[in-house]
Each structure stands twice: as structure tokens, then as C-alpha cells.
Amino acid sequence: SSHYQGTPFDPYGQLGDDTTVGRFTPVAVSGLSGVTAVAAGSMHSLALKTDGTVWAWGANDYGQLGDTTTTGRGTPAIVAGLTGAVAVAAGGFHSLALKADGTVWAWGLNDSGQLGDGTTTDRLAPVMVSGLSDITGIAAGYRHSRAAKSDGRLWAWGANNHGQLGDYSTTNRLTPVMVAEVSGAVGVAAGDWHSLAVKLDGS
């Protein structure tokens, strides 16, 4: 389609300027201030504000905006019931937030277990990821999720068809499993079908 040939593309309102007009240059997202972090999914966007709230816009087919609906939005809407957030991550069609208490919350598409709540049920508002505490960093891939714990261990959940969870298997996980071989992790990232970590020793 044309958006792969250099044409600005915004059919889902993911630019947040209350239009579906593609832009060649940056445009301000409507009505947002006090933002400390942002994240971009396949067709949705997230913003974390200094007050610990999370705001979302764009496509919402699977509830990835977390506003209790499946209605797409061209301007930011607050993620329902979520306070105390300190980090956000956006996957293909799901979203994650890390709270100041070290818990991780997830919403949106859950077909591969990427929300980590033990089900494959899509969620239209945040649910807590099972069994995680003392988390310091999060990342979201296309259909998988990752978290770094304060002890330097990594945890992962969701799609694992290419081994992206790093647990010596290709089995999808509906709740977090510990990533093999990695300790001393201080940062984590996730691509569509692969994952990365950076360790304290710089590797």
C-alpha cells in the first residue's frame, strides 16, 4: 500500500492531532503537557505524565488504549484506573505500564499471553501481570513482553514461536518465565520477534 512508498500514514489517529492526515514533519499531540515518556506500538501511542497517569491514542481494536472501549481515538484518552506509573511500553497491539511499586500492568491484545495474566483474554483496561515484583524496566514486542527485575534477572511472557522469550523453548507463556542465562541485567528491549538485554558489565 501507499504508506510503504513514502506517503505519510495516519489512518488510526496515532499521531494524536485529531486528524487522520499523515505528516512529513512533527505535529504536536493535542492537549498533552507534562509528559516524561512516550511509546509507540504498531498503530497506537502512549504517553506517561509527571502525575503518574498514562494517556493513549490511535487504534484500539483490542483495547490497547486501555480506556475500557474498542473505539479508536485521534486524541489522547486517559488509561482507566492507572496511577503511579513510572514507565510505559507499547507492543504490536498491547500496552504495558510499570508502577512505582514495582508491579507491571498490561492491556490490549492477549492472543499469545502477552498480557501475562494467565489467560488469552483481551483486556480493555489494565490488569496486573502475574507474579512480578521489584521490576525496574519493561519492554513490549509485537506479541511478547519483558521485564527487568531489581536483582538483575529478566522475565518474559507471551509469544515464543521464534524463541523470543529466551527460556530454551518455543512455547508461548501466559505468565512470566525467567529468561535463561541472563543475570546482572540493567536494561531490556524487544523487537517484533527478538529481544535484547544490556548488562551492568556493558555487554
**Per-residue pLDDT tens over the stretch 69-116:** 999 999 999 999 999 999 999 999 999 999 999 999 999 999 999 999
Residue ranges of the chain with pLDDT lower than 50?
1-2
pLDDT of residue 63: 98
pLDDT of residue 4: 52
Rounded Cα–Cα distance for residues 102 and 127 (Å): 14
pLDDT of residue 5: 58
pLDDT of residue 20: 86
pLDDT of residue 18: 87
Helix (H, G, I), strand (E, B) or coil at 143: coil
Is 153:132 a contact under the CB 8 Å cutoff?
A: no
E strand or H helix at 186? strand 185-190
pLDDT of residue 1: 44
pLDDT of residue 2: 46
